[in-house]
Structure 1
Amino acid sequence: MKMAPANVFRFFDLPPELRAAILSHVLVSEYSIILHNSTLFTLPLSSLSSFLNVFLVSMQMYQEASPIFYSQNRFTLNAQSHRLPMHLTRRGGFLSDEGQGARRRIRCLTLHLTRVGGEFERVLGPALSDMVLCGNLRDLRLRLIPPSWRGANRMADFDMVQRPPFQALLRLLADPYLERVELLAWKVHLTVFCPFHRTGNPLIKPNAESVDDQGLAIVRNGPDWVKLDWKSMVEMFGMGQPIMTIGERTY
């Protein structure tokens, strides 16, 4: 029987719980991981090894490492541009058919969104709903960025909350399979959101919010991100959309 060299470390001889602890140390970051496509992510500069190299060691390594990577990291999806970036929607991209298997494995996601428009209703919303219903997505943080047209002498669109794309967003927020939902707006935001952050927010001082000539509210001397009461928003604007937990759901 051929003996292994003395300087070879047999990783899979370790107990499973110790292997999991080591892989968590290598693959789990305290920072959010930026999504580019189904196989390319941006890891923090402090990470000295690529998760992809770990996945390619062997099939057993992939089977043990990938659940840790996808379930214990927080991923960030940037949809701030007027249209979804091509690298997300093209073949092999995170929002493509080929990326479905990877995105369904993600448990914690932060979405940066500027425009709740047609592409959200047609592409992004259905992909996120699929990640919840058919995948592992349970923790969703949504950050609403200031409108991209600010400064172009255009007024705010307050009717958007009644339109299909925004209604799709409300349905997503109220999905009973989501265990944690957080909705935040930037300190410059549409005044339609103001009633949902003014009550019970000790970080915002009285009279700290003003409205500019374009109909945008601005919070001064306060936090950059303002937490919104999304449940109240669903109850006010959602067209018959109930807020339920799994135990309350009936068929």
Structure 2
Amino acid sequence: MGKFGSRSIAFRPKPTGTTHVAPKWRNAPFRFLDLPPELRHHIIEMVLLDAAPLHEDILHLFLTCQQIYAEAASLFYHHVCIQLRDDIHPLLIGSLTRVSARQHVQNLRIRFTMKESECFLDRLYGTTLSEMAEKGRLQHLRIEIGSCFPNDEFWGWDESYGYGDIRVGPGKGQVILAPLFVTKPWFQSFVGFLGDAKTVKVSLYVDAEDHDGFWCMFHRTHSSGEKCDGWWKGKSQALKIHRSSLVKTLRGAVLATPVQKEC
């Protein structure tokens, strides 16, 4: 070891003095895939998220090849908001393939009312969303239960959707007054999904405007400690439900007594 610190540095060969010659321009098509991924990402983002993108440009981009489709879909479907009405949204229908749009969704926000969604909740939560979390890229799921649920307008005179004594909790030793739908297979499938989701962050909300007293045992209490009974709106349009508390309480809920039909 000398004063230079290393013989390899002291006796390193000197540059030859040759200058860099730019490669000769070739008359050939521009290869988009030869660009670095971060540049492709920026270009695709400009096409998709432009203030007024042309539908033809977006369509051509998605039909280029599987690699470009995957890169474009990861941007286009990064955040998706869905309002469920009387049928499952097209994005959630069909088997999951390499070109399925929903496998690229990373943040999904679903809003619905039980009245409009009961018929397919079992299919939606039991299969589609679980598949998106396990095989797709779904990272965060926000579920919003809309207003007018449950209330007299929704329940009507159908005794199967009334209130009754429900046996809940570990060992089913607790009896609460709750909507009878919590014992139905479709709702239990929903609760099962909420409890078993491991690879995706699930947030559950109910409308603060007119939520029912049934939800009050699961959302944040008033700062004064006053009982809500479905009237407290909170500071936002939606009240967050404590998912773990709901799952612990309602999973496996059963009727405590047979439902009595009114004469």
**Normalising to structure 1: TM-score of the pair?**
0.65
Shift, 1:75, TM fit: 0.9
Indicate how the Cα distance of structure 1 residues 237 and 76 shifts in structure 2: closer, same or farther if over 3 A, else same: same
CA contact (8 A) 1:141 1:183 kept: yes
Indicate how the Cα distance of structure 1 residues 15 and 48 shifts in structure 2: closer, same or farther if over 3 A, else same: same
Aligned to 2:87: 84
Q: How does 1:1-251 map to 2 (within 5 A)?
A: 3=27, 11-27=32-48, 46-50=51-55, 51-70=58-77, 73-79=78-84, 81=85, 83-84=86-87, 88=89, 93-97=90-94, 101-115=100-114, 117-123=118-124, 125-147=126-148, 150=151, 152=153, 154=155, 157=163, 158-187=179-208, 188-199=210-221, 207=226, 209=228, 211=229, 217-220=230-233, 222-239=235-252
Of 139-148 and 97-106, deviating more is 97-106
| RMSD of aligned Cα (Å) | 3.4
CA contact (8 A) 1:111 1:142 kept: yes
Shift, 1:154, TM fit: 4.5
Kindly tell me the number of residue pairs found equivalent between the two proteins. Answer: 202
Of 151-160 and 53-62, deviating more is 151-160
Separation in 1 of the partners of 2:72 and 2:61? 8
Separation in 2 of the partners of 1:185 and 1:121? 19
Separation in 1 of the partners of 2:202 and 2:232? 23
Secondary structure of 1:53 counterpart: helix
CA contact (8 A) 2:61 2:72 kept: yes
Indicate how the Cα distance of structure 1 residues 47 and 175 shifts in structure 2: closer, same or farther if over 3 A, else same: farther
1:218-250 deviations in Å (ceiling 9; x for gaps): 33463211111111111111129xxxxxxxxxx
Indicate how the Cα distance of structure 1 residues 124 and 220 shifts in structure 2: closer, same or farther if over 3 A, else same: closer
Structure 1 unaligned spans of 5+: 30-44, 212-216, 241-251
Secondary structure of 1:110 counterpart: strand
Which protein shows a greater Rg? 2
CA contact (8 A) 1:186 1:226 kept: yes
Instruction: Decide which structure has greater helix share.
Output: 2
Shift, 1:142, TM fit: 0.2
CA contact (8 A) 1:197 1:228 kept: yes
1:47-76 deviations in Å (ceiling 9; x for gaps): 424433321244543243233434xx1112
**Normalising to structure 2: TM-score of the pair?**
0.63
Indicate how the Cα distance of structure 1 residues 98 and 136 shifts in structure 2: closer, same or farther if over 3 A, else same: same
Indicate how the Cα distance of structure 1 residues 195 and 94 shifts in structure 2: closer, same or farther if over 3 A, else same: same
Secondary structure of 2:82 counterpart: strand
CA contact (8 A) 1:144 1:185 kept: yes
Separation in 2 of the partners of 1:229 and 1:17? 39
Instruction: Give the AA of the match of 1:140.
Output: L
1:18-64 deviations in Å (ceiling 9; x for gaps): 2123324544x6xxxxxxxxxxxxxxx93424433321244543243
Shift, 1:194, TM fit: 0.5
Instruction: Give the AA of the match of 2:80.
Output: F
Indicate how the Cα distance of structure 1 residues 121 and 24 shifts in structure 2: closer, same or farther if over 3 A, else same: same
